[in-house]
Amino acid sequence: MRGYMLLKPSSEERQSGLISVLLLGGCLAFYLFFAFYDKAVICVDSPSYITMDLSREPLYSLLLAAFRTVFGGLGEYGYLTAVAFFQSVLAAYAAWCVADYVRRKWRLPGGVGAALACMPLAVSLLCRFAARRGSMYSNSILTEGITISLYLIFFRYLLEFYFDRTKKSLLWCCLLSFLMISARKQMVISLVMLLSCIALACIRRNALQESGSSSAPKALKPGKAAGMALVCAAAVLGGAAVLDLGYNYALRGEAVRHSGDGRFLTTMAFYVAEREDAAYIGQEDIRSLFLEIYDRCDEQGYLKHSAGKGWLNRVSHFGDHYDHIQIDTLWPAVNDYVREHYGDGTVELGENADRIMDVMNRALLPHNLGKILAAFFDNFLSGLITTVAQRNRILNWYSLGAYLLYTALLIQSLREGKRRRLSRYAAGFAGLTLLSVCFNVGLVSLVIFCQTRYTIYNMALFYMSLILMAYAALAGRRERGHAV
C-alpha cells in the first residue's frame, strides 16, 4: 500500500496531464477540421515533388511516393488527401509539443500553455485567411507541409539541449535536422542553430554558475564542444548526401545529387547585372546565352536598375520579378541551350544546366558584390518584417514596434534572469528565437526574396517568446509587490 501511494500521481500531476490532453485535443481538432474542409491543395510547385523532379531534395518526394503506394487506390490524386491528413496531425503535434514542454518544464499555468499552443494555430489562420492563400501549409502539397512542423519540434529539443544538455535531445536535433535538410535546402539553418547552441553551451554554463544556479549542467569544455559540433555536422550533412545519392541511384540509375541549387545565385547575379558584365564571361557560347537572357529580362523591366526609388519600391520590385527572371526566362533559356548542345536526358540536363549557371556565377558575382550586399540589406529588413507580419506601410510600423517590445522584454529578462529561474528560461527561449530569425532571414536574403513562405518558420516562436517574456515580467512584478 505504501509503494502504491508513492507511485500514485499527485493532484497537481493529474491536472497537468489533463491540461496536456486538452491542449493536444484542441490542436488536433483545429488542424483536422481544415484537413476535412480544404482537403489537399495542389500548388504551383507541387507537380515537381509528385513527379520526383531532379531539382528537388528527396525526402518529400519519397513521402509522397510512400503515400501513393499505400493509398493509390483512392484515385489519381486521392492519396494526396491522406498526405494532407498526415501533415495536419504532424502540425497539431508540433504546436502542442513546444507549448506543453515549456509549460511542464517551467511550471506555467494552463492558460499560459494554451496561449503558447495557440500561436502556431494563429499563424496558420493568417496564412489561410489574411494572406489569402486559400489554404494552410499543413494541407498544401509543399515541403512546408512538413518542414514548418519539424522545425517547431526541432526547436523543442533544441531548448532541451540548451537548458539540460541531454544526449537524447542532441540525437533528436540531429535526426530532425537531417530530415529537414533532406526535404528543403533552406533548412540548413537547423544545423546552424544546433552548432550555435553547442557553442553557446560553454558561455551559458559559466553564466549559470556565476549566478549560483544549482541547475547548471555539467561543464562542456571547448574541445569537447568542437568535437561534438564536428560529429553532428558530419552526421547530418553526410546522411543527407547519402540519402540524396541513393535516392537518385534507385530512381534514375545514377548516384548524383539533386540539381538546381545554383539557380538562386544565378537569379541574383542577373538581377544586379549590367549588359557590359558579359565581358567577364570567358566562354563565348555562355556569354551569348547570358546576353540572350539578360536582354529579355531588361526589356521586361525585371532587373534592379528598373526598380523605383525608396526601400519599399526596391524590395517590391525584387519580389515581383524574381520568378519572372528565374522561372520564366533563365530556366527555359538554359534548358533549351542544353538540349540543343548536349541532349535532354534528365541527369545530363541537370548537370549541364548546373555547370553553365556555375560559370555565370563565378564570372558575375565577384564583380557585383556591392550591389548584391545592397540587395541583401534591403531583403534582410524585408525578412524581419515578414517574420512577424506582412510587408505594407502600416504593418511595417507595427513590425518595428513588435521588435522594440521584444528587445525591451529580452533585456529585462536577461537582467532578472540572474535571480529568477522563469526570467532566465524566457530569455533563453527568446534569445534562441532571435538567433533563428537572424540566421533564417540572412540565408534567404542572400539568394531569394523574403516572402512569408520562407520566413514563417519563426513567426510562431517569435510570438511565443513575447508571451513568455511578458508573463515572466508580470510574475516578477507580483513577486516584488508581495515582498514590499
Following DSSP, what letter does each residue of 335-369 receive, concatenated? HHHHHHHH---HHHHHHHHHHHHHHHHHHHGGGGH
The cell 535526426 sits on which residue? Answer: 175
Rounded to the nearest 10 degrees, what angle do helices 421-447 and 78-105 cross at?
Answer: 140
- The 10 Å Cβ neighbour count of residue 340 is 9
Decide if 225 is inside a domain. Answer: yes
Query: Burial of 5 by CB count in 10 Å (0-12 exposed, 13-18 middle, 19+ buried)?
Result: exposed
Q: Are residues 307 and 225 in the same domain?
A: no
- Phi and psi torsions of 338, nearest 5°: -65, -45
**Residue 362: partners with Cβ closer than 8 Å, 6 or more residues away:** none
Tell me what pLDDT residue 221 has: 81
Q: Measured in whole angstroms, how far is the alpha carbon of residue 308 from the centre of its chain?
A: 30
Give the DSSP letter of residue 130: I
Distance between CA atoms of 389 and 153, rounded to whole angstroms?
22
Confidence of residue 206 (pLDDT cuts 50, 70, 90): very low
Tell me what pLDDT residue 205 has: 54
Confidence of residue 210 (pLDDT cuts 50, 70, 90): very low
Q: Are residues 269 and 156 in the same domain?
A: no
The cell 513577486 sits on which residue? Answer: 479
Ranges of H-type helices in 365-420: 369-388, 393-416
pLDDT score of 200 more than 90: no
Q: Are residues 300 and 233 in the same domain?
A: no
The cell 537531417 sits on which residue? Answer: 178
Average pLDDT over residues 37-49: 93
Q: How many Cα atoms occupy the beta-carbon half-sphere of 127 within 13 Å?
A: 26
Q: Which residue has the higher pLDDT, 23 or 128?
A: 23
Tell me what pLDDT residue 128 has: 87
Decide if 111 is inside a domain. Answer: yes
Handedness of CA 458, 460, 466, 469 (dihedral sign): negative
pLDDT in tens, 268-306: 999 999 999 999 999 999 999 999 999 999 999 999 999
Distance between CA atoms of 136 and 125, rounded to whole angstroms?
7
pLDDT score of 6 more than 60: no
Tell me what pLDDT residue 201 has: 82
Tell me what pLDDT residue 207 has: 44
Decide if 13 is inside a domain. Answer: no
The cell 504593418 sits on which residue? Answer: 395
Decide if 454 is inside a domain. Answer: yes
Which of 339, 374, 409 represents a domain boundary (last residue)? 374
Q: Are residues 98 and 184 in the same domain?
A: yes
Tell me what pLDDT residue 483 has: 54
The partner residues of 41 in beta bridges, in order of sequence, read 140
Tell me what pLDDT residue 145 has: 96
Handedness of CA 272, 274, 279, 284 (dihedral sign): positive
Decide if 40 is inside a domain. Answer: yes
Q: Which residues of 283-311 are buried (b: 16+ CB within 10 A; e: fewer)?
A: eeebbebbeebbebbbeeebbbeebeeee
Average pLDDT over residues 449-472: 95
pLDDT score of 91 more than 70: yes
Q: Are residues 162 and 211 in the same domain?
A: yes
Which of 309, 343, 374 represents a domain boundary (last residue)? 374
% of the chain beyond a pLDDT of 90 = 80
Which of 307, 341, 374 represents a domain boundary (last residue)? 374
**Residue 382: partners with Cβ closer than 8 Å, 6 or more residues away:** 315, 319, 391, 445, 449, 450
Least Cα distance to 454 among 380, 400, 398 occurs for 380
Nine-digit cell string for 31: 488542424
Q: Are residues 148 and 242 in the same domain?
A: yes
Confidence of residue 26 (pLDDT cuts 50, 70, 90): very high
Q: Are residues 230 and 346 in the same domain?
A: no
Q: Are residues 468 and 436 in the same domain?
A: yes
Distance between CA atoms of 387 and 390, rounded to whole angstroms?
8
3-state helix, strand, coil in the chain (%, to 5): 80, 0, 20
Decide if 242 is inside a domain. Answer: yes
Q: Are residues 405 and 357 in the same domain?
A: no
Q: What is the pTM of this model?
A: 0.94
Contact 269, 361 (CB under 8 A): yes
Q: Are residues 196 and 293 in the same domain?
A: no
Least Cα distance to 236 among 187, 178, 292 occurs for 178
Average pLDDT over residues 238-259: 95
Rounded to the nearest 10 degrees, what angle do helices 421-447 and 393-416 cross at?
Answer: 140
Compute and round to an integer the Cα radius of gyration of the chain.
Answer: 25
Average pLDDT over residues 468-475: 94
pLDDT score of 5 more than 80: no
Tell me what pLDDT residue 420 has: 87
The cell 547575379 sits on which residue? Answer: 269
Query: Burial of 329 by CB count in 10 Å (0-12 exposed, 13-18 middle, 19+ buried)?
Result: buried
Q: Are residues 332 and 431 in the same domain?
A: no
pLDDT in tens, 338-357: 999 888 888 889 999 999 99
Mean pLDDT of the chain: 91
Least Cα distance to 141 among 54, 4, 41, 18 occurs for 41
Decide if 23 is inside a domain. Answer: no
Confidence of residue 216 (pLDDT cuts 50, 70, 90): low
Q: How many domains does the chain have?
A: 2
Domain span at 317: 263-374
Tell me what pLDDT residue 405 has: 98
Decide if 238 is inside a domain. Answer: yes
Q: Are residues 183 and 296 in the same domain?
A: no
Tell me what pLDDT residue 208 has: 47
The cell 553553365 sits on which residue? Answer: 356
